[in-house]
Amino acid sequence: MASKDGQGDADGVSTTRKTFEILETIRDEEGLSITELTRRTGLPKSTVFRHVKTLEDLGYLVERDSGYYVGLRFLQISETARTRRVGYTAAKRKVFELGRETEERAVFIVEEEYDAVYVHRYGSLADTMIGARRPLHTMASGKVILAEWDDDDVRTFLEESDLEPVTRNTITDPDDLFEELECVRERGYAVNDQEHMDGLRGVAVPVYTPGDDLLGALGVFGPTSRLKGEYLHDELTTLLQEKAGEIRVTLAYG
């Protein structure tokens, strides 16, 4: 016998499927009435009416001449998807440019569920496989992302992460992390000094959309023997900021 919770989940999935079935039917042929939608979908008329009115109230459908059309509210969702798609494609090009120009490993990172996720990379290292997840606080790219959050969001992250150490240099004290993030905000870039892997140092900058939303973080890392001093804090950061700016321009003008 199914549990009440299980039945509730099943009902929710069924409801969602019906909503999308109605939306896709209208997408394929706009201007359909409730009666026509009922015939096309095979759903009860009362069910179609209820779903359509909810979608209309939310702005996802509009009614004209007794027919229904996809609402402009979808533009907001499609624009977000377009920005990510175009932005991620542009970021891939810049990651490869960075790798070729510096002969260092280069990455583009985004945050998902309090993890740093590798989206693009240049250079071979098992630890940087595309889709791999790493703790935000251990990486320059991750600290760049954390620095974009307000203190309350960072505290929520701390509750979830516990700042577990990966190396002896990993930041494990919340006060130290807040201090580090303030430095990142002031400098405009973050440094990882063997906090994620012994012998490696990294630097990263934020990548913004034309609307000043954070798209992700662009970073370079390599041996501590090379990534130091002026090369780390001047040459690489300047190059990273230039590439991040070029991604933003691509998003603005295509």
Range of the domain at 12: 7-71
Q: Give how many domains the chain has, as a whole number.
A: 2
Mean pLDDT of the chain: 91
Report angle CA 168, 231, 163 to the nearest 5 degrees.
25
Classify residue 83: in a domain, yes or no. yes
Q: Is the pLDDT of residue 222 over 90?
A: yes
Q: pLDDT tens digit string along 158-217?
A: 998 889 999 999 999 999 999 999 999 999 999 999 999 999 999 999 999 999 999 999
Is 152 in the same domain as 195?
Answer: yes
Is 191 in the same domain as 246?
Answer: yes
Q: pLDDT tens digit string along 94-149?
A: 999 999 999 999 999 999 989 999 999 998 666 667 888 999 999 999 999 999 99
Is 90 in the same domain as 56?
Answer: no
Tokens linked to 52: 């359509």
Classify residue 59: in a domain, yes or no. yes
pLDDT value, residue 83: 74
Q: Is 136 in contact with 116 (CB distance < 8 Å)?
A: yes
Q: Is 149 in contact with 136 (CB distance < 8 Å)?
A: no
Is 102 in the same domain as 37?
Answer: no
Is 244 in the same domain as 210?
Answer: yes
Is 140 in the same domain as 202?
Answer: yes
Classify residue 1: in a domain, yes or no. no
Q: How far apart are CA 18 and CA 16, in angstroms?
A: 5
Residue 176 pairs in a beta bridge with none
Tokens linked to 156: 């929520």
Q: How far apart are CA 217 and CA 207, in angstroms?
A: 5
**CA-to-CA separations, 84 to 31, 119, 212, in angstroms, rounded:** 31, 11, 13
Is 61 in the same domain as 104?
Answer: no
Q: Is the pLDDT of residue 11 over 80?
A: no
pLDDT value, residue 72: 83
